[in-house]
């Protein structure tokens, strides 16, 4: 795949519907999910949070967090869903990430 163009995660924008639409426009773009806080993946509804349409691929999951064990667990969980890449957001200024709250971002 030609990775000259990527669509970075944008809060309240790059949801599964947006990615599906954008994929119709470009087959050679790498898409990223909106950031999902690690605790949400560990304790939340994984199918709701991580499922995607295979037509969205190639697709990277962005996980936000600061705890290495939680991030590792989330990466293993996400691998089973078939993401092409896992992107770790370790320095997000979001208070939700900094305080490790269970929030769906």
Alpha carbon distance 46, 14 (integer Å): 18
The tokens 């990466």 sit on which residue? 75
With tokens 């295979």, the residue in question is 54
Please say whether the beta carbons of 38 and 64 come within 8 A: yes
Residue 5 CA neighbour count, 13 Å, CB half: 7
Burial 75-89 (b: 16+ CB within 10 A, else e): bebbeeeebeeebbb
Q: Can 92 be counted among the known catalytic residues? A: yes
Catalytic residue (choose from 73, 92, 94, 96): 92
Residues identified as active-site: 92
């Amino acid at each position: 795949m030609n990775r000259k163009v990527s669509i970075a995660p944008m809060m309240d924008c790059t949801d599964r519907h947006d990615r599906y639409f954008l994929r119709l426009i470009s087959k050679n773009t790498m898409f990223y999910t909106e950031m999902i806080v690690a605790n949400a993946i560990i304790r939340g509804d994984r199918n709701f949070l991580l499922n995607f349409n295979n037509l969205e691929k190639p697709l990277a999951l962005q996980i936000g967090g600061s705890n290495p064990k939680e991030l590792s667990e989330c990466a293993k969980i996400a691998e089973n869903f078939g993401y092409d890449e896992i992107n770790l957001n370790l320095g997000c200024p979001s208070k939700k990430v900094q305080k490790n709250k269970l929030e769906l971002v």
